[in-house]
Amino acid sequence: MTMTQTAGAARSFPQGEPIIQCQGVHKWYGEFHVLKNIDLSVAKGERIVICGPSGSGKSTMIRCLNRLEEHQKGSIIVDGIELTGNLKNIELVRREVGMVFQHFNLFPHLTVLENCTLAPIWVRKKPKAEAEEMAMRYLKRVRIAEQAHKYPGQLSGGQQQRVAIARSLCMSPKVMLFDEPTSALDPEMVKEVLDVMIGLAEDGMTMLCVTHEMGFAKSVADRVIFMDRGEIVEQNTPNEFFNSPQSDRTKLFLSQILNH
Amino acid sequence: MANNVHTGNVHSGNIPDERPPSNTVGPVAWLRNNLFNTWYNALLTILIAWLLFKAIPPLLDWLIFSANSFGTPPQVCRQEGGACWTFVSEKLRFVMFGTFPYDEQWRPLITIVIIIALVLASCDRRFWKPWLALVWIAGLTAVGVLMWGGVLGLTYVENTLWGGLPLTLMLSVVGLSVAFPASVLLALGRRSQLPAIRVISVTYIELIRGVPLISLLFMASVMFPLFLPTGVNFDKLLRAQIAFIMFAAAYMAEAIRGGLQAIPKGQYEAADALGLNYWQAMGKIILPQALAISIPPLVNTFISFFKDTSLVIIIGLYDLLGTAKAALSDPAWRGFYREAYLFIGVIYWVFCFSMSKYSQKLERDLRRGHRR
């Protein structure tokens, strides 16, 4: 335990102005303690990959950052706003924090373009023409502009996930959360989504990404966080993390996912 | 052994298409496959054919061949035996408009036209815009002016004199258009995070659904006035209308709840994550999908509610069924109940069948939108 904590403190993160600060965050599902004393600070522009065995609380943690899940103890401050029961504050945070889900969660009754313009029009109160222009720009960026007038059900999984990313970007978020964005995809579609995410990272977007794509972690992450049983066990630069993991749990996890 | 089915060989793909064996296509094959495929199906087919042979000719005879055309006096009809369509032509205006003053019956006629026009316009999805609500308000105001009168030089007609088709249409169209938004709120309330709202919605729905519509109508017409101070009188028609709305809202709320429960959790989460507030998420994301799923049970409620308006006869209002019954009580026309019920049956059927057909079209259109 002390060992792992020193490992986590091996380098002090982050090195810039923080946009997300979690202090002593705990969460329970009924009796089950899912998140234990999470301390996390994320700097603007930082790219973080969160990994760990299933059930370790990674998804729950990033879902707490836009209050899709409620934490019961500790504090979470996002973009200078503390997440509490205050609905107005929650909505303010959610405007600035984009989220991409494992199962895309596109709105099936709206076209691709309407999926992208809905929130800018209704939440940001943008004029329709402006919202559409911006949506087309982001759809081009994820290389799917020619499908703008189709419905999500007519697209492949990889295409749907790219639309989901464009939909989030249309809100001009300050932070993007990715919750296992490639886990539900057929293998041949993983790359097209990862390419979009790498492009985003290169443009300096602040990203927190729960993923098992270790290649992605190695090539773009500034920091890799390893979670197990509801706690942050270890965090380090990808280089240090993969080459000299500190805790036994990290070593075990890495040996399981890398040796095949 | 055929020379082209060895594993590992590449099939050249040039076997020409052949006609299927002649005993598998054509009308004879159809008969054999569908009507005579087993001995008991063959027996049933023969039995049903015999019943149809027995039933249809006399029915057609009564309906058409021996029928007495419009204008035959009832005495002649009674002797001849066939259907007496004079009843319909003679009593048409009474059945359609009830006891509305005879010379003023163009007013309920225009009312019928306005209501049907409003409904037809609302069927077109291109008109699903906020201004449609204004059109409805204008249309219903015109209906009120026409029926009551008392302004614009129209003589005042008390609503106890209203009856027939306008009454049926008003009760059901006004009832459904008020009950529908109420039912959406009830369905949302039943799934609300706020305990007070949830308890109120559940109590309301379970209470109203647990009571027969007739008893609700009786309560509205008999019991409700007991609670009012003496001298205050609430219009009977309005009370019946409110009872209908309350009843339909409870039923439709459950149909809509079914649709809401079918929406995956991810849709709610995606709407939340984009920063939409509750009403935006419901209005733009959840309800459009939930209502599309709820169309079959909703239309079921619409149709049964349309027909249930005929229950107002028990509190002394004469809707279409009521006026038909009243027409039969005319001594000169007593006994022509087959003609009377067939006639209004056809009217009810036309409305209900149109609702059903429209809902099927709407379902198809909405599904075309998001193929999965």
pLDDT in tens, A251-260: 999 988 876 5
Q: State the pLDDT at residue B368.
A: 67
Given B277, B285, B372, which is nearest A107 (Cβ)?
B285
Contact A154 B288 (CB under 8 A): no
The mean pLDDT of A15-40, rounded to a whole number, is 90
Question: What span, in angstroms and rounded, lies between the C-alpha atoms of B210 and A166?
Answer: 49
pLDDT tens readout for residues B51-92: 999 998 888 888 877 777 777 777 777 777 777 777 777 778
* pLDDT single digits (tens) B264-283: 999 999 999 999 999 999 99
Q: How many contacts (CB atoms, under 8 Å) link A and B?
A: 70
Inform me whether the pLDDT recorded for A156 exceeds 60. yes
The answer on pLDDT for A176 being more than 90 is: yes
* pLDDT at residue number B369: 60
Q: Is A94's CB within 8 Å of B275's CB?
A: yes
Give the range among A7-16, A25-34, A161-170 with minimum mean pLDDT. A7-16
Q: From the CA of B139, how many Å to the nearest CA of chain A?
A: 31
pLDDT at B6 over 70: no
Amino acid making up residue B210: G
Confidence of residue A10 (pLDDT cuts 50, 70, 90): very low
* pLDDT value, residue A14: 58
Highest mean pLDDT among A43-47, B146-150, B318-322: A43-47
pLDDT attached to residue B152: 78
Instruction: Give pTM, 2 decimals.
Output: 0.82
Q: Sheet containing A73-78: which strands, arranged edge to edge? A: A32-43, A18-29, A73-78, A81-82
What mean pLDDT is reported for chain B?
A: 84
The reply to whether ipTM tops 0.95 is: no
Q: CATH homologous superfamily of domain B92-370?
A: MetI-like (1.10.3720.10)
A1 pLDDT more than 50: no
Q: Are B162 and B100 in contact (CB under 8 A)?
A: yes
How many distinct helices (H) and strands (E) make up chain A? 10, 10
Q: List CB contacts (< 8 A) between A103 and chain B.
A: 266
Distance from CA of A3 to the nearest CA of B (A): 37
Q: Each residue of A114-138: pLDDT tens digit?
A: 999 999 999 999 999 999 999 999 9
Among A9, A236, A61, which residue's Cα sits nearest to residue A254?
Answer: A236
Q: Identify residue B214 by its one-letter amino acid code.
A: I
Query: Tell me, what's the pLDDT at B24?
Result: 72
Peptide bond into A238 cis (omega under 30): no
User: Cβ of B370 and A118 within 8 Å?
Assistant: no
Q: Which of A18, A8, A11 is nearest to A174 (CA)?
A: A18
Mean pLDDT of B309-335: 82
Which of B264, B273, B284 is the closest to A66 by Cβ?
B273
Q: Are the beta carbons of A105 and B266 separated by less than 8 Å? A: yes
pLDDT at A4 (0 to 100): 41
Contact state of A171 with B274 under an 8 Å Cβ cutoff: yes
Pull the structure tokens for residue B353. 């069948």
Write out the two tokens for A121.
């029009």
Taking the CA of residue B123 and the nearest CA in chain A, the distance in Å comes to 19
Burial environment of residue B177 by CB neighbours within 10 A (0 to 12, 13 to 18, 19 or more): middle
Residue-range domain boundaries for chain B = 26-63+71-80, 92-370
Residues of A with CB under 8 A from a CB of B: 66, 68, 87, 91-92, 94-95, 97-99, 101, 103, 105-109, 118-119, 122-123, 151-154, 167-168, 171
Instruction: Give the mean model confidence (pLDDT) for residues B158-165.
Output: 81
B310 vs A10: which has the higher pLDDT = B310
The three-class DSSP label of residue A109 is: coil
Q: Do A91 and B277 touch (CB under 8 A)?
A: yes
Q: How far is B188 from chain A (nearest CA, A)?
A: 19
Contact residues, chain A, for B267 at CB < 8 Å: 105, 107
Residue A9 has a pLDDT of: 42
Q: Give CA torsion, residues B77, B79, B83, B84, to 10 deg.
A: 10
A108 contacts in chain B (CB < 8 Å): 289, 370, 372
